[in-house]
Amino acid sequence: MRQAFRSPWWLPVLSGIFIGTSYIPFPPWASLFCFVPLWRFWQGQQRLRPVLLSGVLTSFIYTLIGFNWVTYTLHEFANVNWLVAGIGMLIFAAFGHLFLPIAGLAWFYARRILGVGPGISMALMAAITALAEFYVPMLFKWNFGYSWYGAGFPLYQWAEIVGFAGLSMLTVLANLAALYAWDNRRQRGGKAAAFAIVLGFAGLNAGGSWLKQRLPAADSALDVLLVQANIGNLQKQSMEHGKGYRAEILTQYFQATDAGLAENPDVDFVMWSETAFPALLGGEYNQSQYAELLQTFVRNRQLALLTGAYAKDQHNAITNSLFVVDETGTVTEPHYSKTILLALGEYIPFADVLRG
Segments of the chain scoring below 70 in pLDDT: 1-5, 241-244, 343-345, 348-349, 355-356
The pTM (predicted TM-score) of the whole model is 0.80
* Radius of gyration of the chain from its Cα atoms, rounded to whole angstroms: 26
Sign for the pseudo-dihedral over CA of 8, 14, 19, 22: negative
Judged on CB neighbours under 10 Å (0-12, 13-18, 19+), 182 is: middle
Per residue in 37-64, pLDDT (tens digit) is 999 999 999 999 999 999 999 999 999 9
Give me the pLDDT at residue 1, please: 45
Between CA 172 and CA 95 the distance in angstroms is 21
Q: How many Å is the maximal CA-CA distance in the chain?
A: 76
Give me the pLDDT at residue 78, please: 72
Would you put residue 282 in left (φ > 0), alpha (ψ -120 to 50) or beta? left
Q: Which helix (H) or strand (E) holds 227?
A: strand 224-227
Residue 334 contacts residue 328 (beta carbons within 8 Å):
no
